[in-house]
Each structure stands twice: as structure tokens, then as C-alpha cells.
């Protein structure tokens, strides 16, 4: 089986073409790839309907010391609908 590169896989998943379990698996895989397209997808995952996926994206994004990532994590810490997601974003920003 051939896997799609992150720049092709991320947009497909972001469009909701896969179920939540598969989206979470893709988020985990993309978190292991240090490519701009993977980071873009992880940033988009901060707006996923599933709180688990958002927390997963936060943990993976916390490895990157880039302004867009830090700003997105700050926005998540301040405004996510789920208090656990907000707390996790705050914790990851503090590390």
C-alpha cells in the first residue's frame, strides 16, 4: 500500500473525507513529519470537531518553536470550547 505524501493527505482529511478515528491516526503520523504541510494540517486540526484530535494536535505542535504555532496554541488556550483542551494548550505553552 502506498501512502500519500502529507501535502496530499492533510487536505483530504481536513475536508472531512475520513472518519474521526482515521483522522486521529493521520494526525499522529503527520506529527512525526517535519514538513510545512504537516504543520499546516496540525494547525487546522486545532479546529477539528473532536476534542481528542485537538489535544493530539496540541501535543504534536508543541515541539515546534515557530511563531504561527505559538500563536495558534495561545489562541486555543484562550478560546477553545473544551476546558480540557484549553488547559492542555496552556500546559504545552508553559513547557
Residue 74, pLDDT score: 97
**Structural domain boundaries in the chain:** 6-94
Residue 1, pLDDT score: 38
Task: Give the Cα separation of 51 and 19 in Å (integer).
Answer: 14
Other CB atoms within a 10 A radius of the CB of residue 48 amount to 20
Task: Give the Cα separation of 38 and 30 in Å (integer).
Answer: 5
Cell of 4: 500519500
CATH 1.25.10 fits 6-94, yes or no: yes
Residue 44, pLDDT score: 86
Q: Whole-angstrom distance between the N-terminal and C-terminal Cα of the chain?
A: 38
Whole-prediction pTM? 0.73
Q: Which residues of the chain register pLDDT less than 50?
A: 1-2
Amino acid at each position: 500500500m502506498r501512502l500519500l505524501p502529507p501535502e496530499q493527505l492533510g487536505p483530504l482529511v481536513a475536508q472531512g473525507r475520513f472518519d474521526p478515528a482515521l483522522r486521529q491516526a493521520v494526525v499522529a503520523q503527520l506529527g512525526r513529519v517535519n514538513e510545512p504541510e504537516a504543520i499546516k494540517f496540525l494547525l487546522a486540526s486545532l479546529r477539528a470537531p473532536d476534542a481528542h484530535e485537538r489535544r493530539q494536535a496540541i501535543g504534536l505542535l508543541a515541539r515546534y518553536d515557530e511563531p504561527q504555532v505559538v500563536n495558534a496554541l495561545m489562541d486555543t488556550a484562550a478560546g477553545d470550547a473544551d476546558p480540557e483542551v484549553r488547559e492542555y494548550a496552556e500546559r504545552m505553552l508553559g513547557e
